[in-house]
């Protein structure tokens, strides 16, 4: 491919941080006009760092060498002001974290409009509504008036795609754009991204998905490109590698007395949105899996269990009526591992933060480090220095740190919202195997996931938030699928 046909041409890109460790090492990559190019590989292999280098958003501590040509302009040589001119106009961007990409105090429509306003362009309500309709967020004129906090991660991700394509950039950079979506919606989003005619550079751990859309697949490991293949070859090699993994047995069913019972639990946000009536039991020593389509109330259900919201109707019955009010009984692990950890704090402060309100901040630094070291050992990270920062962790490591933080108190119920959505297969297996092992100590875990394979392999029971088909009678007690 000649240079004039390339929208992006990366030559010898190397990125390192303090200490000299190379996060990206001598990477060469090309994206042509209208092409779909995917970068795949395990957590920590440098995929997202390439996108950050393209956007000019690497931290000041990063050292960058090589060339990053975008429409023949070298981003490495540009000033921050020049990079800002390229972002939005030439390079659109879809973030991995749809929740962090919006301001909850502004309506969805106002959030999206910022893409035009940032470049002093005008946009009408009708244009925004039309684009929301185009990504199956209908009716767009109603949806644009709603607030992000009432939307699911999948809905927000589609809104992010609308914002990324607002100015019709030459290429869209997408960092795990389908990580918050179930399979059907994931294909819908990829179809939307690839159907615009713009070039697309997508980072993903979902090799099966992106190979259905990519013209070329770059596979990374330890900061280097280890293969460049067409999608059919990349998919075949991926399936050959993953086929060698033995199935993971699910632990035997534990305790018979429910820790928590939900009966006819609902949450109504209006316009038919929210959580349809659902019944289930949460038992100590077990993993309860929650499946369902995007927007059917999976994350809402976790907020109800955590006490962050009150149900519209129905009941939550604890085995001990006073348990819910005890600090530390319920802990949450969030979908975005990096976004849930304060980048300015050392790990020992992050992990022990849940203890501080109960101890009135009397935890000394040495005590904090000791507590953190013990918690990290419990999640298989005993080799990591508790004084280091969270920004140096891979996605899989960050998620295990988040689990360690959730377990420092007297936790009886762990709620995990898509804990593997942002992780590659290998890191996802490590995290879920860890959760499976934690149930051996009597911990009850509720896992929300759109990945049926994860739930089938690790959950004792799986229920769905998808409403019953129209006209069918709702059961007195929702049938659970014992895996």
Distance between CA atoms of residues 404 and 407, nearest Å: 5
H/E element, 113: helix 108-117
Q: Domain for residue 253, yes or no?
A: no
Structure tokens, 72: 């023949």
* Residues 203 and 341 reside in one and the same domain: no
pLDDT above 50 for 449: yes
Who wins on pLDDT, 445 or 134?
A: 445
* Residues 211 and 345 reside in one and the same domain: no
* Residues 205 and 353 reside in one and the same domain: no
DSSP 429-442: HHHHHHHHHHGGGT
Who wins on pLDDT, 427 or 70?
A: 70
What is the pairing mode between strands 199-203 and 171-175?
parallel
- Cβ neighbours of residue 132 under 8 Å, at least 6 residues apart? 108, 112, 138, 140, 143, 144, 159, 162
Highest-confidence range of 201-215, 246-260, 327-341, 455-469, by mean pLDDT? 201-215
* Residues 175 and 268 reside in one and the same domain: no
Do 161 and 192 meet the contact criterion of CB atoms below 8 Å apart? yes
State the pLDDT at residue 328.
73
Q: How much of the chain, in percent, has pLDDT values that exceed 90?
A: 29
Q: Domain for residue 251, yes or no?
A: no
State the pLDDT at residue 430.
83
State the pLDDT at residue 356.
67
* Of residues 299, 282, 340, the one with CA closest to residue 157: 299
Which spans in 362-451 are helix H?
365-378, 395-406, 425-438
Do 10 and 174 meet the contact criterion of CB atoms below 8 Å apart? no
Q: Which domain holds residue 87?
A: 3-242
pLDDT above 70 for 253: no
Q: Which of 218, 242, 266 is the last residue of a domain?
A: 242
In the predicted model, what is the mean pLDDT of residues 389-406? Answer: 85
In the predicted model, what is the mean pLDDT of residues 106-132? Answer: 91
Q: Which of 197, 218, 242 is the last residue of a domain?
A: 242
State the pLDDT at residue 325.
61
* Residues 267 and 226 reside in one and the same domain: no
Who wins on pLDDT, 298 or 323?
A: 298
* Residues 84 and 223 reside in one and the same domain: yes
Q: Domain for residue 433, yes or no?
A: yes
State the pLDDT at residue 482.
33
* Residues 158 and 265 reside in one and the same domain: no
* Residues 409 and 462 reside in one and the same domain: yes
Q: Domain for residue 248, yes or no?
A: no
Tell me the backbone φ, ψ of residue 220, rounded to 5 degrees: -110, 150
Q: Domain for residue 380, yes or no?
A: yes
> Which of 239-243, 342-346, 443-447 has the weakest average pLDDT?
239-243
State the pLDDT at residue 42.
80
**Strand partners of residue 462:** 289, 481
State the pLDDT at residue 475.
37
* Residues 30 and 109 reside in one and the same domain: yes
- Cβ neighbours of residue 89 under 8 Å, at least 6 residues apart? 119, 167, 169
Question: What is the band of 357 on the pLDDT scale with cuts at 50, 70, 90?
Answer: low
Q: Domain for residue 412, yes or no?
A: yes
State the pLDDT at residue 4.
43
State the pLDDT at residue 187.
83
Residue-wise pLDDT tens digits, 164-187: 888 888 899 998 888 767 777 778
* Residues 269 and 120 reside in one and the same domain: no
Distance between CA atoms of residues 464 and 459, nearest Å: 13
Question: What is the band of 425 on the pLDDT scale with cuts at 50, 70, 90?
Answer: confident
Mean pLDDT estimate for the chain = 83
In the predicted model, what is the mean pLDDT of residues 342-365? Answer: 79
* Residues 23 and 143 reside in one and the same domain: yes
* Of residues 168, 188, 189, 181, the one with CA closest to residue 123: 168
* Angle formed at CA 183 by CA 182 and CA 184, multiple of 5 degrees: 95
Do 181 and 189 meet the contact criterion of CB atoms below 8 Å apart? yes
- Cβ neighbours of residue 454 under 8 Å, at least 6 residues apart? 289, 420, 428, 432, 447
Q: Domain for residue 227, yes or no?
A: yes
Q: Domain for residue 247, yes or no?
A: no
| CATH classification at residue 394 | 3.40.50.300
Domain count, the chain: 2
Do 464 and 291 meet the contact criterion of CB atoms below 8 Å apart? yes
Question: What is the band of 479 on the pLDDT scale with cuts at 50, 70, 90?
Answer: very low
State the pLDDT at residue 413.
92
């Amino acid at each position: 491919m000649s240079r004039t046909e390339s929208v992006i041409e990366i030559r010898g890109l190397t990125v390192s941080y303090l200490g000299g460790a190379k996060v990206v090492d001598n990477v060469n990559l090309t994206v042509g006009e209208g092409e779909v190019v995917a970068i795949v590989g395990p957590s920590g292999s440098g995929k997202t760092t390439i996108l950050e280098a393209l956007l000019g958003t690497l931290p000041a501590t990063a050292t960058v060498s090589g060339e990053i040509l975008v429409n023949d302009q070298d981003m490495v040589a540009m000033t921050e002001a020049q990079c800002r001119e390229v972002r939005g106009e030439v390079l659109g961007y879809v973030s991995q974290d749809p929740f962090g990409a919006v301001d909850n105090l502004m309506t969805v429509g106002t959030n999206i409009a910022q893409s035009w306003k940032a470049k002093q362009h005008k946009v009408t309500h009708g244009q925004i509504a039309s684009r929301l309709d185009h990504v199956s967020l209908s009716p767009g004129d109603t949806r644009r008036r709603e607030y992000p906090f009432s939307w699911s991660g999948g809905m927000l991700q589609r809104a992010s795609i609308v914002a990324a394509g607002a100015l019709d950039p030459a290429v869209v950079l997408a960092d795990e754009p389908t990580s918050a979506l179930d399979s059907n919606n994931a294909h819908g989003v990829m179809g939307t991204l690839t159907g615009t005619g713009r070039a697309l550079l997508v980072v993903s751990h979902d090799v099966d998905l992106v190979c259905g859309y990519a013209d070329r697949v770059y596979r990374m490991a330890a900061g280097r490109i280890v293969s460049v293949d067409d999608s059919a070859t990349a998919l075949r090699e991926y399936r050959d590698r993953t086929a060698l993994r033995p199935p993971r047995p699910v632990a035997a069913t534990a305790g018979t007395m429910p820790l928590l019972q939900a009966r006819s639990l609902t949450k109504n946000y209006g316009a038919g949105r929210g959580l349809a009536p659902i019944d289930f039991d949460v038992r100590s020593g077990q993993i309860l899996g929650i499946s369902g389509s995007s927007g059917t109330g999976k994350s809402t259900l976790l907020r109800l269990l955590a006490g962050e919201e009150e149900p519209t109707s129905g009941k939550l019955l604890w085995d001990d009526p006073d348990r819910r009010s005890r600090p530390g009984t319920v802990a949450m692990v969030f979908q975005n591992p990096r976004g849930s950890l304060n980048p300015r704090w050392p790990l020992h402060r992050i992990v022990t933060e849940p203890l501080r309100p109960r101890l009135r901040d009397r935890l000394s630094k040495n005590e904090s480090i000791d507590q953190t070291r013990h918690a990290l050992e419990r999640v298989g990270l005993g080799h990591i220095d508790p004084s280091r920062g969270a920004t140096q962790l891979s996605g899989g490591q960050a998620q295990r740190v988040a689990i360690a933080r959730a377990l420092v108190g007297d936790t009886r119920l762990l709620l995990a919202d898509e804990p593997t959505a942002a992780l590659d297969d290998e890191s996802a297996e490590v995290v879920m195997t860890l959760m499976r092992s934690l149930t051996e100590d009597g911990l009850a875990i509720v896992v929300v996931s759109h990945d049926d394979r994860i739930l089938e392999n690790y959950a004792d029971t799986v229920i769905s938030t998808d409403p019953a088909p129209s006209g069918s009678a709702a059961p007195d007690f929702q049938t659970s699928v014992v895996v």
